[in-house]
Structure 1
Amino acid sequence: MTELPGTRSLWLDTAPAPDRTGTPLPPEVDVAVLGGGIAGLTTAYRLARAGRSVLVLEAGRIAAGVSGHTTAKISTQHGLKYATLAKTKGTEAAAMYAYTQAAALDWIAAATAELGIDCGFTRSDSFVYTTRPETVESLEREAEAAAEAGLPATYVTEVDLDVPAVGAVKFASQAHFHPRRWLLALAAEIERAGGTIIEGVRAEGLDELGGTKVRTSSGDVRAGDVVVATHYPVFDRGLFFARLDPVRDLVVAGPVAGNRPPEGMYLDADTHHSVRSYLNDGVPYAVVGGEHYRVGDSVDVESRYERLATWAGEHAGVHRVTHRWSAHDLSTLDSVPYVGRYHPASRHLWVATGFGQWGMTGGTAAGLLLGDLLTGRDNPSAGLYDPNRFDLRSAISTVENNATVAKFLVGDHLSALRKPASLDELAPGEAKVTRDGGELVAAYRDPGGELHAVGAHCTHLGCLVAFNNAEKTWDCPCHGSRFGLDGSVIQGPAVRALPKKRER
């Protein structure tokens, strides 16, 4: 068994941030941006620079959520994306998607240089490879479709990674960086332009009648426009919970044997293992991702981390894992993010969500698009990203996705009711969702023997949570909400904590 450290993101560990809690809530602003990740901060920066009074509300800490738990590749290469887009939406749509992602990459590069931001921005080629001969034809089609979409894509037969690759799609001159250093610098620029950023304040409700008002854990604020960039939209009026699929990818990082990290960025088309390098205080590191699973699935997450660490040692040269974390991703029904009006009737409520595994360019592209939409500038990509788009294929995907939710909603309840267990019998380190008296509870006994028990129904729509044995959290398999052992909300769409039950 590989010895692993506790779960902690390399990006959070190497980028301390000022405390923005306790700042008074302004009574009124032009734009309230909910969420301090890459989409929210990019949007806020663009609007603040355009002269709008901007408030950013972050329930946790800036750049410490999803954007602080990524592999941070800034790439227009999004798996085998372009052949599928060309087939399902047409070559013009594939070209428009490619254009917006490339524009996002170029904007980050230009802003980094213009503002003098030290975030380790580094150009690097990107590869999607396969070790399976039967996948080669798909890679060839992808290279052709991506090149037709205007991207620097070619098909190659070799990669600089210790894997038996038989083919790959190469995208030239992509990039990677330290995401939290980038976002903390962007936050400072927002404040320099007159914007306000408040941490530790959670949006709990929204009124759209008679003007837009956000109800928060620290009071109410009126806004001319509200942008919901909370990763998973926290207000259910757009029915996004029925149109998003939550998954988690695991990540490990550590120094590379012989100080020779891989020169490019790599993704296995079949297993989805990914590799990129990072220079951590002069020491070459590899950042390795993979072992994804649907949030809340009853899987042994700790064992998956061990498998990933073993793979990183064998194929990426990682001789010691110093950091490990997990990336939270949301995929849309057609694999194109939702960016624009929150619902068909909204005029001042906006959303950005569903970036899949590609939030660095996707979230940036969303911020650039929303910056245009909120300042009245035309943007030809608005129709492609419209959150209210609909087609038959999406309708079928909605039915399939909600069938999965129904399976968890009904099956998990039956399992918990069928096999009740006494909380007193839980051993140290053991967790269980079970019936306690007349209610279902989620209980965990820590290694010191203390019992932590909370309500087992997710406060979003009532699904039963499942235990994540690596991060010691309660995760909802239906829509991806995550809770701490004390019931506190770690990730939405839930905004209310799980109620505490008896502790002994």
Structure 2
Amino acid sequence: MNSQDRRETTSIWMDTQIMPNFFPLSDNLNVDVCIVGGGMAGLTTAYLLMKEGKKVCVVEAYGLASGQTGRTTAHFVTALDDRFFDIEKYHGEKGAVTAAQSHRAAIDKVEQIVASEQIDCEMENLDGFLFAQDDPRPNVLRREIEAAQRAGLKDVALLEKVPFLSFDTGPCLKFANQMQLHPLKYLAALAERITKGGGLIFTGTHVTEVHGGDEAFVKTEYGHRVYCKSVVVATNTPVNDLVAIHTKQAPYRTYVLGFQIPAGSVPKALYWDTLDPYHYIRLEKGPSAETEVLIVGGEDHKTGQENHPEERFKKIESWTRARFPMVEDILYQWSGQVMEPVDGMAFIGRNPMDKDNVYIITGDSGNGMTHSTLGAILVTDLIMGRENSWEDLYNPSRISLKASAEFLKENGNVAAQYGDWVTTKPKTPLADLQEGEGTVFRAGAKMVAAYKDDSGDMHFMSAACTHLGCLVGWNNVEKSWDCPCHGSRFDCAGKVIEGPAIADLKKLDLLTEEPRPSKDLRL
């Protein structure tokens, strides 16, 4: 089956591990720490705080790891997606050293947890290779190895090519002692350890308000409250922040294909290139002992700013087949969302312009598994009142003057998206809309998002994102409405599935597919 023929997107992790089920929160509750988000960051934070003796609870809107954690490719690395020479430019040599040390510490922490809890999650230490094939920038690998070694990664080595691969990568950097695992097997075990240790987990529990201060609490859509001493928001992008953090990071969609290959035909390692958009590769067990799955991702673009996202799968397929002639059928395809901070480093710590007991973990910059873990370590230290030398580098309130150009570029892009209110065209005949597809159209001064379900019935809703009013666009890969400003996402019926928005798209009661005067559109 070709990638363009598939519509559903299910990651290999979702297909091979069932996560434990928990009940929704059904009453008020008192704990020491309430953690919003049941992915890698939230569950790791809950586990570490539980080990410190804190009474913790995790509240998750859907199922555990149902967000970006279930859509990762689970590379645990010191070879960061942002080049060390760029990190050094934005944060100085000391900042680059801290970045390297904190990511190494995160890998070590996962290894320690796996060993101490005896978790069977296919964890493996292996080498990683960064290559610059077709990169027009001169000396990019030389600059990177020099910066990485200044940051303390002394064992990074420059090689003539990635060894044993079927194609000539050209020169590459070898990063030793990287790591991979099955993220959902790891987190399923972590959730079990949290509840056995007295922690509480609630799924199907959508948070609508977060309040810090002396009487801190988290409120859910059904009015229940979790009263606590500290709140940690670990939802990929903060749902408790209206503007501050969202001006300093940008959402990108990233795409992944899983190809069946003969077992042993590609050396087991992590692979990355330096292109923009870039590619990243790892291997996973296949459906039989004779096969493996070659997982290839990349082809990122700004969320909501690609009219034909399905073409990204075709590009990955073409790129892969040109370099790995042993690939066979496509077994999996999925996409995810990456938050890219303007200066390359995550935002971890106290939420800007909020009470001191509200913490966030966001800005994964393509290194979500490692960032989530170091974020859990840092936030745990802050809540426990311990000093942590990483605090300044990841401080969410930091102002990165050296990243001003990137800040202006990203926010200029956001401002431009509001022009869709002017340029969006009137409705074309909805009879032409295919089943399972959506479109946005103008009706007078109003904007409507229309979806035709598999039965041919139409569903109408406001096209204005409930975060800051940007117009959503249709994502034909995930069957979702995506906001091109700050990355909020809604399912085909308008239900919010990803922040920063916390409210659903407003439904419209249109009784006909024919054009209606704008006064009849109650947005």
For normalisation by structure 1, the TM-score amounts to: 0.95
CA-to-partner distance for each residue in 1:296-353, whole Å, 9 max, x for gaps?
A: 0133111211221233333244311111111210011211111111025522111110
Residue 349 in 1 paired to residue 358 in 2? yes
Counterpart for residue 2 of structure 1: 2
CA RMSD of the aligned region, Å? 2.0
Counterpart for residue 277 of structure 1: 283
Pick the aligned partner of 1:222 from 213, 227, 231.
227
Residue 432 in 1 paired to residue 439 in 2? yes
Query: Does 9-18 or 260-269 show the bigger shift?
Result: 260-269
Q: What are the within-5 Å matches in structure 2 for residues 411-450 of structure 1? A: 412-416=420-424, 418-428=425-435, 430-436=437-443, 439-450=446-457
Aligned-residue offset at 1:230: 0.8
Residue 295 in 1 paired to residue 298 in 2? no
Query: Does 351-360 or 272-281 show the bigger shift?
Result: 272-281
Residue 256 in 1 paired to residue 261 in 2? yes
Q: What are the within-5 Å matches in structure 2 for residues 99-178 of structure 1? A: 99-132=101-134, 134-135=136-137, 137-151=139-153, 152-159=155-162, 160-178=164-182
Paired with 1:238 and 1:55, the residues of 2 have a C-alpha distance of 27
Query: Does 336-345 or 424-433 show the bigger shift?
Result: 424-433
Paired with 2:480 and 2:327, the residues of 1 have a C-alpha distance of 27
- Where 2:312 maps in the other structure, the secondary structure is helix
Paired with 1:394 and 1:90, the residues of 2 have a C-alpha distance of 12
Please say if residues 304 and 472 of structure 2, whose CA atoms lie closer than 8 Å, have aligned partners that are also in contact.
Answer: yes
Query: Does 367-376 or 307-316 show the bigger shift?
Result: 307-316
Pick the aligned partner of 1:97 from 99, 114, 133.
99
Paired with 2:298 and 2:453, the residues of 1 have a C-alpha distance of 28
Pick the aligned partner of 1:467 from 456, 463, 474.
474
Counterpart for residue 407 of structure 1: 416
Counterpart for residue 52 of structure 1: 54
Counterpart for residue 193 of structure 2: 189
- Where 2:49 maps in the other structure, the secondary structure is helix
CA-to-partner distance for each residue in 1:366-396, whole Å, 9 max, x for gaps?
A: 0011111101111111111111111323444
Residue identity opposite 1:93 in structure 2: G
Counterpart for residue 22 of structure 1: 24
Query: Does 275-284 or 478-487 show the bigger shift?
Result: 275-284
Paired with 2:136 and 2:433, the residues of 1 have a C-alpha distance of 48
Residue identity opposite 1:198 in structure 2: F
Paired with 2:322 and 2:511, the residues of 1 have a C-alpha distance of 44
Paired with 1:391 and 1:119, the residues of 2 have a C-alpha distance of 38
Structure 1 residues 345 and 202 mapped into 2: Cα distance closer, same or farther (>3 Å)?
Answer: closer
Residue 389 in 1 paired to residue 392 in 2? no
Residue identity opposite 2:305 in structure 1: D
Aligned-residue offset at 1:288: 0.5
Unmatched 5+ residue regions in structure 2?
513-523
CA-to-partner distance for each residue in 1:138-196, whole Å, 9 max, x for gaps?
A: 11111121122222311111113333322111101211111111111111111111110
Residue identity opposite 1:88 in structure 2: Y
Please say if residues 143 and 154 of structure 1, whose CA atoms lie closer than 8 Å, have aligned partners that are also in contact.
Answer: yes
Structure 1 residues 344 and 408 mapped into 2: Cα distance closer, same or farther (>3 Å)?
Answer: closer
- Where 1:486 maps in the other structure, the secondary structure is coil
Unmatched 5+ residue regions in structure 1?
none
Residue identity opposite 1:200 in structure 2: G
Pick the aligned partner of 2:341 from 332, 337, 344.
332
Residue identity opposite 1:458 in structure 2: C
Paired with 1:425 and 1:288, the residues of 2 have a C-alpha distance of 35
Query: Does 219-228 or 86-95 show the bigger shift?
Result: 86-95
Query: Does 423-432 or 244-253 show the bigger shift?
Result: 423-432
CA-to-partner distance for each residue in 1:82-117, whole Å, 9 max, x for gaps?
A: 112223322111111100000100111121111111
Q: What are the within-5 Å matches in structure 2 for residues 199-214 of structure 1? A: 199-208=203-212, 210-214=214-218
Residue identity opposite 1:231 in structure 2: N
Structure 1 residues 429 and 340 mapped into 2: Cα distance closer, same or farther (>3 Å)?
Answer: closer
Counterpart for residue 321 of structure 2: 313
Residue identity opposite 2:268 in structure 1: E
Please say if residues 72 and 360 of structure 1, whose CA atoms lie closer than 8 Å, have aligned partners that are also in contact.
Answer: yes
Aligned-residue offset at 1:425: 4.8
Please say if residues 290 and 308 of structure 1, whose CA atoms lie closer than 8 Å, have aligned partners that are also in contact.
Answer: yes
Query: Does 129-138 or 343-352 show the bigger shift?
Result: 129-138
Paired with 1:272 and 1:209, the residues of 2 have a C-alpha distance of 42
Counterpart for residue 70 of structure 1: 72
Paired with 1:302 and 1:244, the residues of 2 have a C-alpha distance of 25
Paired with 1:481 and 1:8, the residues of 2 have a C-alpha distance of 20
Pick the aligned partner of 1:476 from 480, 483, 491.
483
Residue identity opposite 1:323 in structure 2: Y
- Where 1:109 maps in the other structure, the secondary structure is helix
Structure 1 residues 184 and 306 mapped into 2: Cα distance closer, same or farther (>3 Å)?
Answer: same
Paired with 2:140 and 2:213, the residues of 1 have a C-alpha distance of 50
Counterpart for residue 246 of structure 2: 241
Please say if residues 252 and 321 of structure 1, whose CA atoms lie closer than 8 Å, have aligned partners that are also in contact.
Answer: yes
